[in-house]
Structure 1
Amino acid sequence: MVGAVLGVTLIGGVAVAQWPGGGPRAAVEPGNTVASPMEEQSPRPVDPTPAKASGDPGRQTGPSGSDGSDGQKETPVPPSGPGTFTAARASGKTVGTGGPLRRYQVQVEDGAGVSAAQAAVDVQAILSDGRSWAAHGKGRFQLVADGADVTIKIATPRTTDKLCAPVGDTGGELNCEVAGGVVVNLKRWVKGSPQYDGPPAEYRHLIINHEIGHLIGYHQHMGCPGPGRAAPVMMQQIKGLDGCKSNAWPYTAQGTFVTGPPAP
């Protein structure tokens, strides 16, 4: 279901790959090849505003609409695109105080209907949240316009399938972890997941946190720790919750790591 940005794991399936520096990863992109990014006009700083933390990671802000669109008019998702990407010309302050620094860039496929600049703000806000990895010494992350170590790409379902093909079948539905970054399925970014008890915008938190988790060393997926408990962020929640409550954050607002048994 749904990280340097991040590497990404098939949020629906698993394949083994190698990240620069060693360590098995979940999915590998075909050489991280993307057409020369079309860049927005000029770099601009991002002042990340962390999302408001809730006391219980299993308690979400509210159910999504029946169409999976948070009760709002559904945003259309183009099934395919040209395979070229626009890079967000944005930069931000380093988030986190411990661990290696990973500079990341956010790119959006042209014609996807999503602003690369806004997507960069969204990702930066997720990584700045007190319930995310950086706040707990698991790494430092910085949004950059150029010179990225990792790239987060938001792509249409068909383009996602092509980029993820070497590591597995994403079936127009899933995300994947790739060499040098992550590929996020536009459908999941816009519509969320039917399994996630929260608005689509909140499901984005799970996508990013799950994939960053793989990047920093949580290679093994986790299972539900028990009925009614919060699902670990490293659980493939898009495949079902097994009685757990959906949760998009690795830590609670009180700083407790949300864990579970190794997934089979």
Structure 2
Amino acid sequence: MGHSRKARPAGRRGQRRRAAPRRSRNTTVTTLASVVLAAATALAVAAYRNPLAATSRPAPAPSHVRHPTASTGLPEPGAVTGHASPSSSATVTHPTPTAKSSPTPIPAKGPGTFTPAQANGKRVGTGATVRRYRVEVEDGIALPAQQAAREISGILANPRSWTADGIDSFQLTSSGPYDFTVKIATPGTVDTIGAAGLDTGGEVNCDVGEDVVVNLKRWVLGSPEFDGPLHDYHALIINHEVGHRIGHGHETCPGSGRPAPVMMQQIKGLKGCIANAWPYDNKHRYLSGPAVP
């Protein structure tokens, strides 16, 4: 069944009020997009004019940075403290030098009096000839006599040292009879002790009477001819001078590329040999060279 439509009065025909056009959904989306685009453009312009504006907020601290503990003020374990790379332009405060990290001062001449090390050691080596020795350091030298005695006794106890000859053994002592003394002295004192016929020139060591005299300059600085560790050069000094003490004379290089004999005056040049601090090798073979007249 259909619906009927009422007739409208004739006087109102043509006078119907036109409704305002509806805004479509597409038009609304377009307008919003325009607003967003305008805002983004404004931000981009601002960032271009001031590049820092977009990054003005401070970045959070990295998680690996360690801060001092509140209780002690000291860095936590594992924190890097007080060290700068060589290329750093910051002022670096160095730690107070210690006896291990700083060279011992070398006075030109000391008083000529000595302090013996109060140290005793066990006999080292199996040789029937026991050579007892003591260690003394000249007064006024910043080198403890006990420290020197420990190092020297360790050198003579090394299996590559003179105990390998099967004849000699050694024992550190601070009392009782002894066969010789190892003295560490200033260059001027070494010259004074060796003045009876030895030309030490403030540079080298000597063996005089009952004394093996070590020049402090050589003990601290080593030798430009010896490129090994300083302790090895100490071994060369002791082995060379004690070698004289037990009857060995000077030797020279046996051939290019071979170890320099410990009885060679290596400080005067290696003559093609390789610097060496020990009279014997690891297989107890004597590292010899031609005798020097």
Tell whether the structures are fold-level matches, with TM greater than 0.5: yes
Summarize the alignment of residues 1-264 of structure 1 with structure 2, pairs less than 5 Å apart. 73-147=102-176, 148-218=178-248, 220-264=249-293
The alignment covers a number of residue pairs equal to 192
Tell me the amino acid that sits aligned with residue 167 of structure 2.
K
Please list the CA deviations of residues 162-181 of structure 1 after superposition, one character each: whole Å capped at 9, or x if unmatched.
Answer: 01101222111011111112
Shift of 1:256: 1.3
SS in 2 for 1:160: helix
- Secondary structure at the residue paired with 2:120? strand
Choose between structure 1 and 2 for higher RCO, CA contacts under 8 A separated by at least 6 residues: 1
Deviations 1:59-110 (A, max 9, x none): xxxxxxxxxxxxx654321111111111000000001111311110000001
Instruction: Select the structure that is richer in strand.
Output: 1
- State the partner residue of 1:4: none
Q: Which residue identity is paired with 2:229?
A: P
Rounded to whole Å, the distance in 1 between the matches of 2:182 and 2:288 is 25
**Distance (Å, rounded) in 1 between the aligned partners of 2:198 and 2:211:** 16
- Native 8 Å contact 1:138 1:216 kept in 2: no
> In 2, Cα distance between the equivalents of 1:186 and 1:73?
15
Distance 2:104 2:142 in 1: 9
Question: Taking structure 1 as reference, are residues 93 and 122 closer, same or farther at Cα in structure 2, changes over 3 Å only?
Answer: same
| Cα distance in 1 for residues equivalent to 2:104 and 2:143 | 10
Separation in structure 2 between the aligned mates of residue 167 and residue 134 of structure 1, nearest angstrom: 30
Structure 2 Cα separation of the partners of residues 142 and 120 of structure 1 = 11
Q: Which amino acid aligns with 1:168?
A: L
CA deviation string 1:42-69 (max 9, x = no partner) = xxxxxxxxxxxxxxxxxxxxxxxxxxxx
Rounded Cα–Cα distance in structure 1 between residues aligned with 2:103 and 2:148: 18
Q: Distance in 1 between matches of 2:197 and 2:172?
A: 26
State the secondary structure of the residue aligned to 2:260: coil
Q: Distance in 2 between matches of 1:74 and 1:257?
A: 33
Distance 2:191 2:123 in 1: 32
**CA displacement 1:208-240 (0-9 Å, x = unmatched):** 11111112221x211101111100001110110
Cα deviations by residue, 1:181-225 (Å, 9 ceiling, x for unpaired): 21110001111111111122221101111111112221x211101
Instruction: Output the TM-score relative to the length of structure 2.
Output: 0.63
- Compute the TM-score of the two structures, normalised by the length of structure 1: 0.70
- Can you give the 5+ residue segments of structure 2 that lack an aligned partner in the other structure? 1-100
Identity percentage of aligned residues: 58
CA radius of gyration, larger in: 2
C-alpha separation in 2, matches of 1:190 and 1:140: 27
* Greater Cα offset, 193-202 or 158-167: 193-202
- Structure-2 separation of matches of 1:167 and 1:107: 23
Structure 1 unaligned spans of 5+: 1-71
- Structure 1 runs, 4 residues or longer, greater than 4 Å off: none
Partners of 1:161 and 1:167 in 2: CA distance: 10
CA distance in 1: counterparts of 2:182 and 2:207, whole angstroms? 10
Distance across 1 between alignment mates of 2:212 and 2:243: 12
CA distance in 2, matches of 1:74, 1:190: 7
CA contact (8 A) 2:153 2:172 kept: yes
